[in-house]
Amino acid sequence: MTDPQLRTAYYRCRRLNAQHGRTYFLATRLLTTAQRPPIHALYGFARWVDDLVDDLSAPARRAELHQMLDQVEQELKTGLEGLRTEHPVLAAVSHTAARHAIEPALFSDFMTSMRMDLTVHEYPTREALNTYVHGSAAVIGLQVLPVLGTVCPQSEAAPYATALGRAFQLTNFLRDVGEDLDRGRVYLPADELAAFGVDRERLVWCRQRGIADRKVQRALADQVARTRATYRFAEHGIALLKPCSRPCIATAFTLYQDILDRIVEADYNVFGGRAVVPNSRRAGVALAAMSAVLANRTANTGWWFTSWR
């Protein structure tokens, strides 16, 4: 990559990843040097747009934010068509999309979900939530798949990639229940919560007091169990990736499930603070994976490990 502006654009995305996605960024260190920039570009774009719609002043700026998203989408379209775009994040992600033949429709679906955040504040059913999650997370699994590479046709790995994207997103929803309530949003299916006697008002009551009552604990336990089931399905896809990509995804897979463990250990109290995986645990998982990567590269005898957990 010799274009100085393009190098600067990718570096901007790398900073976004390092600043906002600690687990993802840690995992990317296990990728090859050629794979990291496009992954940073895809994450940086998603993070940048998501931050726009997460602005706490959004109700007063909704029309302005719609216009900003229109501008982003138009400039992204320009970049995806191979024309020059000045914004560094859009320049990097457009270059990545062209280089790895990522379908433009995946970016359109993402933008559709981001627009939903400006007008949709709760989801009555799992089906309704899945519509949002498809664009906000599942398509990102499909975006990164060409960069990671597969040992089979990509179509065979695609269902697992989308499932892992959903699992990561559902984990974020559970971790961030309190913060999302502060933005006026609930990303948990209302009918599934209602089965345990929980509604938005009860969640707000718990948020105001920094506690999770018994009904909310049971409802969140059910959501954690559903999310773990999604991880179990997604796990089968890791073996379908190219060997050089497996340690990265396996590390993110493990550490994101650890967030669920922290939620359970806190008795499902997601209102008093974020569930955080300790740095010692994060470092231990990453170092174990890195040791295997380095040993394999030094030996240059192929990827000898099949058990990555």
The answer to whether domain 1-103 and domain 120-292 are alike in fold is yes
249-277: b (≥16 Cβ within 10 Å) or e? bbbbbbbbbbbbebbeeeebbbbeeebeb
Q: What is the DSSP string of 209-225?
A: HT---HHHHHHHHHHHH
Biggest distance spanned by C-alpha atoms of the chain: 59
* Residue 298 pLDDT: 60
Per DSSP, what are the bridge partners of residue 241?
Answer: 150
Residue 114: its H or E element: helix 104-119
* Residue 276 pLDDT: 87
Instruction: Give me the residue label for tokens 């940048």.
Output: 48
CA–CA separation, 192 and 48 (whole Å)? 31
Under 8 Å CB-to-CB from 151, ≥6 apart: which residues? 240, 241, 242, 243
CA–CA separation, 55 and 306 (whole Å)? 43
14: helix, strand or coil:
helix
Domain residue extents for the chain? 1-103, 120-292
CA–CA separation, 20 and 31 (whole Å)? 19
Q: Running along the chain, 309 residues long, what does each successive block of 10 average in pLDDT?
A: 88 90 84 95 94 73 88 94 91 96 96 94 97 97 97 97 98 96 95 98 97 98 98 98 94 95 96 87 86 64 39
Q: Give the tokens for residue 39.
A: 């992954």
> Measured at the alpha carbon of residue 141, what is the angle toward residues 219 and 292, in degrees to the nearest 5?
100
What sign does the CA torsion over 151, 155, 156, 161 have?
positive
Q: What is the pTM of this model?
A: 0.90
Closest CA to 146 of 89, 103, 104, 111: 103
Rounded (10°) angle between helices 58-80 and 88-99: 40
Domain 120-292: homologous superfamily in CATH? Farnesyl Diphosphate Synthase (1.10.600.10)
130 in Cβ contact with 81 (< 8 Å): no
CA distances from 80 to 4, 117, 184, 286 (A): 20, 24, 34, 34
* Residue 60 pLDDT: 67
What is the rounded radius of gyration, in angstroms, for the C-alpha atoms of the chain?
20
121: helix, strand or coil:
coil
Architecture of the domain defined by 1-103 = Orthogonal Bundle (1.10)
* Residue 19 pLDDT: 86
Instruction: Give me the residue label for tokens 């994450």.
Output: 43
> Measured at the alpha carbon of residue 220, what is the angle toward residues 24 and 198, in degrees to the nearest 5?
135
* Residue 304 pLDDT: 34
Q: Give the tokens for residue 36.
A: 């990291």
For residue 195, with 0-12 CB atoms within 10 Å meaning exposed, 13-18 middle and 19 or more buried, which class applies? exposed
**What are the φ/ψ torsions at residue 20 (nearest 5 degrees)?**
-110, -20
